[in-house]
Amino acid sequence: MAFDDDKLSDEKLDDKKNIVTEDKKKDDEYESVCFLCRRPESQTGKMIHLPNDICICPDCMQKTFDMVENSGFKTFDFMNPNSVLPNQKKPDGESQDEKQEQDGTGETDARKKNSDSQNQGSMPYISMINLADLQNMMPKPQKVKKKKPKDEQDKPALDIRSIPAPHKIKASLDEYIIGQEQAKKVVSVAVYNHYKRVATGTMDDIEIEKSNMLMIGPTGCGKTYLVRTLARLLDVPLAIADATSLTEAGYIGDDIESVVSKLLAAADNDVEKAERGIIFIDEIDKIAKKKNTTQRDVSGESVQQGLLRLLEGSDVEVPVGANSKNAMVPLTTVNTKNILFICGGAFPDLENIIKERLNKQSSIGFQADLKDKYDDDPTLLHKVTVEDIRHFGMIPEFIGRLPVIFTLDGLTEDMLVKILKEPKNAILKQYQKLLELDEVKLEFDDGALEAIARKALEKKTGARALRAIIEEFMLDIMYEIPKDDNIGRVTITQEYINHTGGPVIELRGNIPRIAEQA
């Protein structure tokens, strides 16, 4: 038994050593950050390590000593707590024991005086700061991953042969997205060319420009879903930012660099991985130039001007783990040269601008176009030009850095029906999976799907309305089914959607019955 106990203890000791080794390897992948200025070790140089895992950079340490020297205290006084200031004198001919005997306090006062002298030393009424207590008061610091050596950076981060071809990218998108054929084709080609550019790097003198994209489409047509699906298929970090919260530097709101900080967080603070990611800026139409020029435009044209250097490619100093720069978070440098920017927006009044341009022809004569010719044109957004976007309020410099411009179609009734049942993660498949866990089969007849699509069109919020409508009708069903273990199948009918009947419920004995109208 003694042998077995020794063997078990040795195994536990080896496990602990392995855990410590793995933790040390993980820590070696990240840089140390200065406790005071929050800069990483790559910018400050070798850190000075103090107890309680506190790191101080040489600059902050030197500033601390300079501050102490300029205050009139000698640095040596910190190390000699029993030293006496020049203006303090000991009583002549009076020893510490004699004073204790005169006061009659004994050993207790002696300990107290010794403690006070150690706490104050040569600095009366000044107590030293415990860095361990200060560390507990501060938020948990973020870690910055170390950059690879230059020899490893010269190697291409991506392999050209591993990048999927455009037709393969589009085929993968077809499994999740219904319709939008032109948009999927444009995105597939642009992404393929962009990552070929990243993989080649600077192989020759020809430098390939970035293919940033601007997508225009009504709300609920799938702009954000398209980008999110694309990033998941390519397995690259993705950051989705909202342009409505961006403001000029110095004003309340998110800084422009916060979009890069979100991408860095999505890449687990790995700068090299973040520099190959995708940033999707939604609601880009909200930063158009304001018509009223009497007020300062802090969230319009100024934000477009700030985004120019990000879109073009530059070194940006961004906070790690926060949206704004402050003294509590470290800063790191990210190069946006190889980051793909995709901007999307609904541009609600853009149709009127296009109509105005198309109706500039004379409305008099037999060959004249009618003014209401384009009122019901579902493909009106496809006729958009750069001049229309500039007239909407986007500055020419901003549009010039988004060379790939394409539009998404508004959803029709047929597209909504397909969205309900055809994609891999369709809404109906999600509810069918939920009821399968209760051993109940859920079905929708074609009339019910068409009725749901018509109701979604009336809401004018695109595909987002489908989930809300189905949730409304499935509430009572999913509440009642767990009560009865005899239910085997539920069929949602058109009458139930139109509030003229109820769903068809079949028991496990194949005896169908129609539920009462909800």
d(CA 83, CA 120): 10
In the chain the first and final C-alpha atoms are separated, in Å, by 70
Kindly give the interhelix angle for 96-103 and 107-120, rounded to the nearest 10 degrees.
130
Question: In b/e form, how buried is each residue of 302-316, taking b as 16+ CB within 10 angstroms?
Answer: bbbebbeebbbbeeb
Residue 221 has which token pair?
A: 């047509």
Quick check: 223 and 408 in contact, CB under 8 A?
Answer: yes
Distance, C-alpha 165 to centroid of its chain = 27
How many whole angstroms separate alpha carbon 394 and alpha carbon 301? 8
Tell me how far CA of residue 418 lies from CA of 38, 67, 362, 431, in angstroms: 52, 71, 42, 16
The 10 Å CB-count burial string (b at 16+, else e) for 266-298 is bbebbbbbbbbbbbbbbbbbbbbeeeeeeeebb
Phi and psi torsions of 213, nearest 5°: -125, 150
List per-block mean pLDDT (blocks of 10 residues) for the chain, which spans 518 residues: 52 55 57 78 81 82 81 58 49 48 50 49 52 53 56 50 84 88 90 82 69 88 87 83 82 81 86 87 87 70 87 85 65 87 89 82 57 67 88 90 89 90 88 88 90 90 88 88 85 89 81 50
β-bridge pairing 504-507 and 512-514: antiparallel
Task: HSE, CB side, 13 Å, CA atoms: give it for residue 276.
Answer: 18
> What is the rounded CA–CA span in Å between residue 518 and residue 508?
22
Instruction: Say what the pLDDT of residue 411 is.
Output: 87
